Amino acid sequence: MKTTRKAFSLADLLQECRVEAGCYTLHGKPLGLRLHIPEALFGRWPYCADAYDFLQYLRDDIAQYGVIEFPRLPLNKLNYTIAMRAPQQHEYSANPFLTDRCQQPHQDTPPYPTAFWLPAERRYFATWLISQQGLQHYQCAQQQCSAASVEDLHRQLLATSLAQGWGLLVNYQPGLTLIDNSDAANLYHARTCRFETQRLTPNFVEDTPMYAFNEVGLLRYIDQMDERRGAEARDVDHVLRVAARMAGDG
């Protein structure tokens, strides 16, 4: 049966989902919204929507809450821009976003938000989320330890940021995560290691693929991010619809 596609709002979702508002705390202030969708609704619109539907219809809400999570929502790969696995699974690539274990904190193509979608637990990596104030902590440490690698800085600062409340660890449990990249929330994110899990399994060779979705990335960079991205889950007509919605926003 063909899915009836129509615009939806956060209010529509709140009517049917259990909600956790302020599911995180950053600098002592609540952040984020977590919607638990009843499993019986997974195959029904709008819960079977693609990542770009969520990014575009919920854009203002993502800016308001900073992070919106849909735990256990089944993966929809349609037009993913990149699938990040363990770095050793991307040894063929020249893109450090695929091959480096840790990233510099950044925003993806602001002001457009980013979606990350996991089909299962990501055991060895996660996303480090910090505020602009947290970014200043990072940059200060970087200046003081100019010889330190990005991974060294993560090892030095990640646990401290979690303990002191200026950093969060997200995007390692199955489901969909939407992250703001605008000035509204002033959030920055980076791929990081789950260091304790890696310590316990030092010889790991793979991890659950983390599918990323970004409107600008879809329209401009999808064939540059991963040399082996290929034709999986690609739909040209869908790309045109995403572009049309972006043009309408302008």
* pLDDT tens column, 199-240: 999 999 999 999 999 999 999 999 889 999 999 999 999 999
Using a pLDDT cut of 70, give the percent of the chain over it: 98
- What residue ranges in the chain does DSSP mark as E strands? 18-26, 29-36, 67-71, 82-84, 114-118, 125-131, 167-170, 175-179, 187-193, 210-214
The whole-model pTM stands at: 0.96
Cis peptide before 209 (omega within 30 of 0): no
Please answer whether residues 197 and 191 qualify as being in contact, where contact means their C-beta atoms are separated by less than 8 angstroms: no
Q: What is the mean pLDDT of residues 153-182?
A: 97
Among candidate residues 66, 74, 59, 101, the one with its CA nearest the CA of residue 190: 101
When comparing pLDDT for 3 and 20, which is higher? 20
**pLDDT value of position 5:** 78
Domain definitions of the chain by residue range:
10-249
**pLDDT value of position 133:** 94
When comparing pLDDT for 68 and 6, which is higher? 68
Q: What is the mean pLDDT of residues 24-35?
A: 96
Residue range 88-146, pLDDT digits in tens: 999 999 999 999 999 999 999 999 999 999 999 999 999 999 999 999 999 999 999 99
DSSP H or E segment with residue 12: helix 10-14
Strand partners, 177: 69, 116
Among candidate residues 57, 50, 68, the one with its CA nearest the CA of residue 9: 57
**CATH code for the part of the protein at 10-249:** 3.60.130
Please answer whether residues 24 and 128 qualify as being in contact, where contact means their C-beta atoms are separated by less than 8 angstroms: no
Which token pair is 164?
């002191």
Average pLDDT over the chain, rounded to an integer: 95
